[in-house]
Amino acid sequence: MKNHVWRPLFVVIGLVVFIFLVRMWYVPDDFGSQERGYTFGFHRLSNEQEWKEFPAKYKDSRYCAECHDEKSESLAESAHAMIPCENCHGPALQHPDNPELLAIDRSRELCIRCHSALYMPSSGRKDIPGIDPEEHNVGDMCSDCHNPHNPSLEDM
């Protein structure tokens, strides 16, 4: 082969060797999924305790039900039962320590994300009751007329 083929080939081989050498120096020995290989994910065994101690920003609705059982029961019987509390109330991180951190989003925009009239034949989205936000009670908050914990109840 001519030099115009060998030179780029040596450059590429050199780059690959350089990348492997840097990887050997830079990537920790305990990186990977260990006995499962790299197939199922990447993490460091020495980092697991750090993540266990990291505070969870989001909890689930069972966490909220520990103190707010009456609201949880009402929600469980409603069309919004599948929606986690934190979708409307924000993340529960440090909520018991500072209840003011959990502000309720009563904005119209929050409800309209799902309830704006929209036809999507390929999903269950068309089954959600929709409104025309330009005509339906413009200027009012949805929670003025609808109970978000049980939206089928028109009067609160």
The reply to whether 65 falls in a domain is yes
Do residues 45 and 30 touch, judged by C-beta distance below 8 A? Answer: yes
- Boundaries of domain holding 77: 61-144
Task: Looking at the structure, tell me whether residues 70 and 127 fall in a common domain.
Answer: yes
Burial class (CB in 10 A: 0-12, 13-18, 19+), 149: buried
Residue 15 shares a structural domain with residue 77:
no
Higher pLDDT, 138 or 30: 138
Q: 10 Å Cβ neighbour count for 156?
A: 11
**Is residue 151 in some structural domain?**
no
pTM check: above 0.85: no
Tokens matching residue 130: 């929709």
User: 82 and 31, same structural domain?
Assistant: no
Q: What is the pLDDT of residues 17-37, one digit of tens each?
A: 999 999 888 887 777 666 665
What's the structural domain count of the chain? 2
Asked if 80 and 151 touch (Cβ cutoff 8 Å), the reply is: yes
